[in-house]
Chains A and B, each alone.
Chain A
Amino acid sequence: MKREEIIEKLRGILASAGDGTAPVSVTEESNLMTDVGLSSVSMLYMVIAIEEEFGIRFDDVGVGDFATLGDVVTYIGNKLG
């Protein structure tokens, strides 16, 4: 799956998981906490949603591994091979 396709899918997830931020404007550089404004609970919700949507498992990540949306895209891309 291309990076752009992953981001597009993530925007849909953020629209549902986020705290009211317009997901259309998020880019790979967007910081999940400061730009997207995700609380820790929303972050958890987002991670679970990604697992369900992409059929992957976040089983080898630590706290704070994801600063930007680009970090999440890279992680998903690697998981999908």
Chain B
Amino acid sequence: MKWRPGECRYGDIVRVRIGSIRHYGVFVSEDEIIAFGLPPVPEYRDRPERLTVTATDADTFSCGSIIERAEYTLREKIGKRSPKKTVAAARARLGETGYNIIHNNCEHFVNECAFGVSRCSVEEEARKRWLSRPICDVYLAPIPDDPEYAPVAPPERGEEIASCRSASLKAAKFTDWKLLGEALRRSLGVDISDVRFRKTSQGRWCADGFDFSLSHTGRAVAVAVSNGPVGIDAESVSDFDRKFGGEKAEKLRERFFTEKEKEKYAADPSSFLVCWTRKEAEFKRTGKGSFSPSAVDTTACRAVTYRVGDVVVSVCGDRSERVLVFREEGGAIRLIDPEPVEGGAP
């Protein structure tokens, strides 16, 4: 459907633009345009017919704006009722109330009169936008000292976790997978027990329809879920400082950073972790080969890094325009709003 100013004819669908809103009606004559409600302007705010199917003249309908008439595609022409039936349908609804801005507004009204189908382009567009929005959500949770182990879906993953000899690794993997279940439920509306997981040739768990990535460090786990490829890595700052503080960090930097990364990231431990976690996250996002830190350059990847408590966490995703970060604390998961961090040039 296209809209053009022009001479309106009996049975046309017409509209006017009032600010950012469009008001629709069925044109009968210059003295009779039938619409669901009056245009949303302050002058009409107190009129009783404001949200009723009403016939007005063209001046009242247009509020001084230009009236446009609909021009139909061939397909729309086939589905459209005759002008006579369109006008009859509109007149039959005069006096009707029950206006609803989402589901029963002036555009629904004219489409129902002309095509017999109640629809609104703004509603459809908003729904489409929401359902196709980029999702790249990060979840962080502490690892309990003594988790309450429970069955895990799929059972194969449960067996993997149960077979961990290290108690701390077992706790981390169990907590991470449990958090994945929460993340899938909250961010994608998916029940983990309904997901058909499989393993890639690299031995990484994956599923169809969405991507996820897991990481654990020290006392915390991290999960990313997205409707595009995603990778996450988390590292504990205090653990790193203990193991690689001082000159050791500088040696690691020399060995593993690309020349571009050496220019971009400062020579202090926290900047090292920004780059390092990005390397791992980017590697996980691509899901290819084995991890060779010096072969992954992060200066051009779409990475976002946060410092939450003792943890530096980076996420790389194809849909990372807007990352939401959730944190479990005291058994409840809440959205938090951490500032993204950069490594800073030395």
Contact = CB atoms under 8 A, between A and B. Distances in A.
Contacts of A4: 332
A39 B126 CA distance: 14
**Interface hub of B20, B104, B335 (most chain A Cβ within 10 A):** B335
Contacts of A12: 186-187, 324, 335
Interface stretch (B129-137, B170-178, B278-286): B129-137
Contacts of A63: 51, 99, 101
A47 B102 contact: yes
Contacts of B123: 44, 48
B302 interface: no
Contacts of B186: 9, 12
A27 to B, nearest CB: 13
B101 A24 contact: no
Contact of B130 (A11, A25, A41, A52): A52
A11 to B, nearest CB: 5
A45 B126 contact: yes
Contacts of A62: 51, 99-101
A15 B324 contact: yes
Interface string B43-67: 0000000010000000000000000
Nearest to B105: A63
Interface residues of B, number: 28
Interface string A27-48: 0000000000001110011011
Contacts of A47: 102
B191 to A, nearest CB: 14
Interface string B315-327: 0000000101000
B308 interface: no
Contacts of A45: 126, 129-130
A23 interface: yes
A24 B130 contact: no
A58 B127 contact: no
B333 interface: yes
A57 interface: yes
Interface string B133-157: 1000000000000000000000000
A24 B51 contact: no
A40 B20 contact: yes
B84 interface: no
B31 interface: no
A28 B20 CA distance: 28
Nearest to B99: A62
A19 interface: no
A30 B109 CA distance: 33
A58 B131 contact: no
A24 to B, nearest CB: 4
A17 B322 CA distance: 11
Contacts of A25: 337
A1 interface: no
Contacts of B187: 12
A40 B99 contact: no
B77 interface: no
B21 interface: yes
A65 to B, nearest CB: 10
Given A24-B335, A47-B102, A62-B99, 5 more contacts: A12-B324, A12-B335, A17-B130, A24-B334, A25-B337
30 contacts: A8-B334, A9-B186, A12-B186, A12-B324, A12-B335, A15-B322, A15-B324, A16-B130, A17-B130, A24-B336, A24-B337, A40-B21, A44-B101, A44-B102, A44-B122, A45-B130, A47-B102, A48-B123, A48-B126, A48-B127, A52-B130, A53-B189, A58-B102, A59-B103, A60-B100, A61-B102, A62-B99, A62-B101, A63-B99, A63-B101
